Chain A
């Protein structure tokens, strides 16, 4: 019985559970719902949950557990030498699965009967050709161990499916029976149902933790593999980045880090003054009508996808800077440059900074402004000497968050900064960043056993750690700041 069919049956049982338990609850009290502890619907839901819930949970666990158990057993079919290292074992197991699937497909399409398949052996003719005829392509001829393992795999998978169906159905029926049995006027169905709902709500909220764990684990495990191929110190302190898929790569982080920080610094030079002055003007000087028009317009910038800014950098800003500044000043002839990417990221970050700073300035109590104005300070003096110092921690937090966004920005640098990893001071040279290299190492045909690919995970975790530290620090500062005025 397939998983899909099992799920359908479970759904049917759940509906049955709902109908039966609701009807029984009403029958027990002779149709007088007031004598029930809970509304009749809750008894129905309880029945449905009891029928489908445990069975579903069991099904999921089984689906996770079965392949692990089968793989464990399949190991016994191969000589130790063949599965000595992990990579080889993975490949062989993949072969076994593919052949088993091929045999299954052959039976399904009628090319072979089940008996024929069971009686197959390698000598009986080229299995590869026969499978190819049913549309299953194999890379190489099948080893006898592999075929044997594939047969065993099929047998175990079949047995597993039967067991799974029986157990799941059994569990569902048992749950249903239990639900019907306990249904009665004194049974607190609503509390039970609500407890299950609460558990589901809580489960949903833990997804944030699961995602973080997923991010860290996935990057960490591949990074560890990478450091098996490539020395840690060479990665973190290497001054050269020249990946070479035929080997002998130099994968030093520093040139990428330099490009990342240089571009981020330029972007902050654009975004911080522009964003701050815009926010100060809007919060302190602009009248309500101007504010109502300009603020949403600036926020439009934040709603535009970064790939649009990337194209703008590539097609417009890059050539503009090259033709009007870099070439006349003899600083290079590259359209992609640190300056291009920096300026465009800066513009992208303006609304981010201005809206955060706007919020922070507005959180400064009006009484402080009155105090300053009442002493005869101008608005500018009030802003510069009272409001901004009071808002300083919050502003620092906002700036740090913007910096973390600039460091993690990908599309603009991919399209506007270039791909040359170098340690250079000239902002009109093309340089590259951590994110650009993650993209270039992981797109296209990649093989997950070479350091040139795996380095992307080490880059990823470096990026993650940098931005995480900045964000945690920034959030901490902002939170402290908020508490000050609450």
Chain B
């Protein structure tokens, strides 16, 4: 019975290949399904990515334009310079309340001069259409140039967040009827102001250069401090991580003996790369702020924390770049009597440099978007003063960072801040795109195939 020539059942010898069986069709259908799942998975991820970016661009793009009202204001000496000395120190005693009155007078006069009907809107409500920020700016402008006192100057002031929102379609008459901060009558007036050319949307440099503003003045909130904070941090992170990262990588790749210590370092590096970022925030708070007494909210502490976090990434990238240099180069240099140290610094390191730079830029790019640890070291604080220049110890001054600003604006109640938050993301993403493109170009330019 053990006739070995007996074919297996179900596979008749000589059966035509053209007779495709139901089973084969079912198997092909399964294959098709697996492919379809794969395509669906890719479609889902990419669709989500594009959906997310689209919502952010749509939400955030209006942040770059701002409703502004232009009108002439007479800077009355009776209000801003009672003593008549034109001395900025004396004039500094007048607070923004005085300048607000000037603006109010100027605005009402402008309406009358243009013959724009105010339809029973009270003076208070009229003035409320202009951002509080305008008074502070006018004050700064007059203090900087006391000669303006007594003159009539053209003022371009931000409209309040609600008027701004109306021009951008965020605020409607229905929402205004329920809103205590704006009345439908003010919106009607806004329409007439637009028609008269006094109110318009303009490109908002203040968003990129101004400091943050309080909850009540979303229209004045800017990214200036956050951009400087992020810039300081990135420069410091590069200064801290590149030398240490390269030195550590050289040691581990070229010199480290195979022993317990080396193993311990290796394990630590791979684990640190996977430690949640918030843990680094705790480390920064406990060691740099509480123990070493460095100032809270400062870019220096932020940079230290981010450096420790980024180092493993940079070390991993650098080691890969060093490993990519073929051993034949080392053998050649050793063969003519160079010491190991000379081989590394004269041959291996220069050849690995493009790879190291690419890895470092990518590491910095991911560091730029890091948020959680910065919350713990106080960078989420409300900072309206610009940090000092880098040589005057500005890295010790309180600052915020771009991603943190995104978070703190997102957590405010006024919906106008969601627009700002998305706008801040656009700025952040522009920086990230620039860094990534730089890394790609660098790789293309110096790519070497051994």
Is there any pair of Cβ atoms, one from A and one from B, under 8 angstroms apart in the complex?
yes
Chain A: residues with CB nearer than 8 A to chain B?
190, 194, 197-198, 200-209, 211-212, 214-215, 218-219, 221-222, 273-278, 280-282, 285-286, 294, 297-298, 300-301, 303-312, 314-316, 347, 350-351, 354, 378-381, 383-384, 401, 404-405, 407-411, 414-415, 435, 438-439, 442-443, 448, 456-457, 460, 463-464, 467-468, 471-472, 475
Contacts of A273 in B (CB 8 A): 37, 41
A-B contact pairs, 13 of them (CB 8 A): A212-B271, A219-B286, A273-B37, A278-B45, A297-B49, A304-B432, A306-B369, A308-B428, A315-B59, A351-B45, A404-B274, A405-B274, A405-B276
Q: Does B55 contact A (CB under 8 A)?
A: yes
Contacts of A435 in B (CB 8 A): 276, 278, 372
Contacts of B376 in A (CB 8 A): 438-439, 442-443
**Interface positions of B from 233 to 284, Cβ below 8 Å from A:** 243-245, 247-248, 250-252, 255-256, 264-265, 267-272, 274-283
In this complex, the member of A197, A384, A405 whose beta carbon has the largest number of chain B beta carbons within 10 angstroms is: A197
Q: Does B109 contact A (CB under 8 A)?
A: no
- Nearest A-chain residue to B345, judged by Cβ: A197
Q: Does B336 contact A (CB under 8 A)?
A: no
Shortest CB distance B365–A (Å): 7
Shortest CB distance B34–A (Å): 4
In this complex, the member of B282, B312, B378 whose beta carbon has the largest number of chain A beta carbons within 10 angstroms is: B282
Contacts of A347 in B (CB 8 A): 45, 48-49
Shortest CB distance B273–A (Å): 9
Decide if A411 touches B268 in the complex (CB within 8 Å). Answer: no
- Nearest B-chain residue to A475, judged by Cβ: B270
C-alpha spacing A383/B38, complex, angstroms: 12
Decide if A208 touches B371 in the complex (CB within 8 Å). Answer: no
List the one stretch of B70-78, B167-175, B403-411 in contact with chain A.
B403-411
A205/B28 contact (C-beta < 8 A), A408-B277, A463-B276 known? no
Decide if B366 touches A383 in the complex (CB within 8 Å). Answer: no
Decide if B268 touches A311 in the complex (CB within 8 Å). Answer: no
Contacts of A197 in B (CB 8 A): 341
Contacts of B31 in A (CB 8 A): 378-381
Contacts of B311 in A (CB 8 A): 207-208, 211
Shortest CB distance B439–A (Å): 11
Interface 1/0 per residue, B417-428 and A, CB below 8 Å: 010011001001
Which secondary structure dominates chain B's binding surface? helix
Decide if A308 touches B425 in the complex (CB within 8 Å). Answer: yes
Shortest CB distance B320–A (Å): 13
Shortest CB distance A105–B (Å): 16
Contacts of A298 in B (CB 8 A): 42, 45-46, 49
Q: Which single member of B27, B55, B372 contacts A410 (CB below 8 Å)?
A: B372
Contacts of A204 in B (CB 8 A): 243-245, 247-248, 251
Contacts of B404 in A (CB 8 A): 307
Contacts of A460 in B (CB 8 A): 278-279, 282
Shortest CB distance B336–A (Å): 15
C-alpha spacing A303/B40, complex, angstroms: 22
A464/B406 contact (C-beta < 8 A), A194-B339, A205-B252, A443-B380 known? no
- The 3 A-B residue pairs with the shortest CB-CB distance, nearest first, are A281-B38, A408-B276, A305-B369
Give the bracket for the number of chain B residues in contact with chain A. 35 or more
Decide if B40 touches A277 in the complex (CB within 8 Å). Answer: yes
Q: Does B44 contact A (CB under 8 A)?
A: yes
Q: Which single member of B34, B55, B268 contacts A209 (CB below 8 Å)?
A: B268
Contacts of B280 in A (CB 8 A): 215
Contacts of A219 in B (CB 8 A): 279, 282-283, 286
Q: Does B52 contact A (CB under 8 A)?
A: yes
Q: Does B111 contact A (CB under 8 A)?
A: no
Contacts of A202 in B (CB 8 A): 251, 255-256
C-alpha spacing A307/B430, complex, angstroms: 15
Decide if B247 touches A201 in the complex (CB within 8 Å). Answer: yes
Contacts of B270 in A (CB 8 A): 471, 475
Q: Which single member of B40, B248, B429, B432 contacts A201 (CB below 8 Å)?
A: B248
Q: Does B308 contact A (CB under 8 A)?
A: yes
Decide if A311 touches B274 in the complex (CB within 8 Å). Answer: no
In this complex, the member of B34, B55, B265, B380 whose beta carbon has the largest number of chain A beta carbons within 10 angstroms is: B34
C-alpha spacing A30/B292, complex, angstroms: 52
- Nearest B-chain residue to A383, judged by Cβ: B34
Decide if A407 touches B276 in the complex (CB within 8 Å). Answer: yes
C-alpha spacing A460/B277, complex, angstroms: 11
Contacts of A300 in B (CB 8 A): 49
- Nearest B-chain residue to A377, judged by Cβ: B27
Contacts of A463 in B (CB 8 A): 276, 278-279
In this complex, the member of B271, B286, B311, B432 whose beta carbon has the largest number of chain A beta carbons within 10 angstroms is: B286
Shortest CB distance B25–A (Å): 11
Shortest CB distance B264–A (Å): 6
Q: Does B101 contact A (CB under 8 A)?
A: no
Contacts of B277 in A (CB 8 A): 408, 410
Contacts of B370 in A (CB 8 A): 305
Decide if A207 touches B244 in the complex (CB within 8 Å). Answer: yes
- Nearest A-chain residue to B39, judged by Cβ: A281
Decide if B421 touches A311 in the complex (CB within 8 Å). Answer: yes
